[in-house]
Amino acid sequence: MKIFWTTLNPRLRALIVFIAGTLFAMLGFLATGALEPVNVLFSFYFSGLLVYFLVRWGVFAVRVSIVLPNQEIPVYEKLRKNPGRRRHGPTSEAEFIDADEADEELHPDDRVIGIFHNGEAAAYPLAALAAREISNEEFDDTPAVVSWSPVTYSARAYIAKAGSGPTLTLGRHTHTVFNSPLMPNDDGSGFVQFIGQAVVGELAGWTLEPIPVITTTWAAWKQAHPYTEAMSMEGGPEFDVFERYYASDRNGIHSLNPTDKRLYGKDVVLGLDINGEAKAYSYPGLIEQPLIEEELGRKAILVLQERASATAVAFSRTLNGRTLTFNGLNKNPHRRSAEATASGEGEREDYEPWLIEDTQTKSTWRAISGECIEGELKGERLEMLPAMTGFWFVWSRFYPNTELFGAIGEIPE
């Protein structure tokens, strides 16, 4: 019955509620005396007001079928339209500049999304990508889509192909699922940005293959990838217009308070989904314990948090058939100051990278890139895993009952 109701046309559902509300109000008046014309008008008014508020709360939103990660039975979730007037991004195509030119536009502590794929490195300032939302790219010969959702604090990149079909060209969103943007393709299909799954159109049910990304500072990314390109800030905002939202207690544009109270709604987590086993690592927990070695989905993994750049990242610990173990090599100092943002990111002068060392060969590795820079394994790279950043209020909806490291009251000292 619930599925039948949620899949009905939204206008029909609203009409049924209006009629039911009117009849209920009239019955109330009949029970107390004669039904006067003014009472009939009030019944219509009451029902109209009821429907209005239910519309505002999204009760009559279109429902789409979505299979949540690691689940088998589809659920029907609200496809919510963006409130207010549609925001338009920059009209010109994004320009990419080299690292030296980017130094003139970016401060060392500016947040960027970093991607290293097929031997090519690129950085996308959050402020620039927040205005554009989507960047359709190619890394070598691989089509890719890079996206940033400030509302859910999720940086994502996917291979822009659905099987053997044509290359996808995704655009700016007008609707959301669980506050995650629905990225529209030219053929009418729409992909949920948080998990890459299509829920409308002819590609509904298809999930895109993720490409690993990190969110870090420009100084940290440039030092790890000196030959990187960067998306220019030209034509975009000079600062991240969502800073106030990050600092507020509002959970999404369409309010979505977490049902899982192990973390606050806007606590940032790094999420992993490996071979059907999912786990989230809270940033507050990782700040206190910045190096974690364990197994997830039958894979030996390494989860790191470089405090100086507020960068959380995950790697496979298996290299050339051998499983490595690691220790911190130099200090991993806390940031000197923290802005009032959910992720605790603050300004820090003179960035110094955190280096780690494997116990098998005593080789030295960069924590944020997984590159070996000194020792027997110099030149090797650990496989970066497609870990997902996001606010807890949205991660816990897409991954209900997830394992969690660093819950409130359980953060290691």
How confident is the chain (413 residues) per 10-residue block, as mean pLDDT?
A: 58 74 76 73 77 67 83 84 65 84 93 95 92 90 94 96 89 90 93 95 93 96 96 76 82 82 94 95 94 96 96 97 95 60 49 95 96 96 96 95 91 61
Query: Hey, is 401 helix, strand or coil?
Result: coil
User: What's the pLDDT score for residue 9?
Assistant: 65
Residue 327: C-alpha distances to residues 108, 189, 254, 318, 361 (Å): 27, 46, 43, 15, 12
Q: Are 124 and 252 spatial neighbours (Cβ–Cβ below 8 Å)?
A: no
Count Cα neighbours of 136 within 13 Å in the Cβ-side half-sphere. 13
Q: Are 375 and 359 spatial neighbours (Cβ–Cβ below 8 Å)?
A: no
Nearest 10 degrees: Cα torsion 277, 271, 144, 139:
-100
User: What's the pLDDT score for residue 254?
Assistant: 79
User: What's the pLDDT score for residue 42?
Assistant: 76
Question: CA-CA distance, 155 to 114, in Å (whole number)?
Answer: 9
Q: Which stretch of DSSP H or E encloses residue 397?
A: helix 392-398
Query: Hey, is 176 helix, strand or coil?
Result: strand
User: What's the pLDDT score for residue 255?
Assistant: 78
Helix axes 37-56 and 10-32, enclosed angle (nearest 10): 140
* DSSP code of residue 213: -
* DSSP code of residue 371: B
User: What's the pLDDT score for residue 27?
Assistant: 78
Q: Residue 98: what are its φ and ψ, rounded to 5°?
A: -80, 175
CATH assignment of 96-230, among 2.102.10, 2.60.40, 2.30.30, 2.60.98: 2.102.10
Q: Say how many C-beta atoms besides its own lie within 10 A of residue 114's C-beta.
A: 27
- Dump the DSSP string for 24-74: HHHHHHHHHS---HHHHHHHHHHHHHHHHHHHHTTTT-EEEEE--TT-SS-
**CA nearest neighbour of 392 among 402, 380, 382:** 402
Tokens of 299: 């894979």
Q: What angle do CA 338, 341, 342 make, to 5 degrees?
A: 115
61's CB contacts (< 8 A; 6+ apart) are 10, 78, 79, 80, 81
User: What's the pLDDT score for residue 65?
Assistant: 85
pTM: 0.85
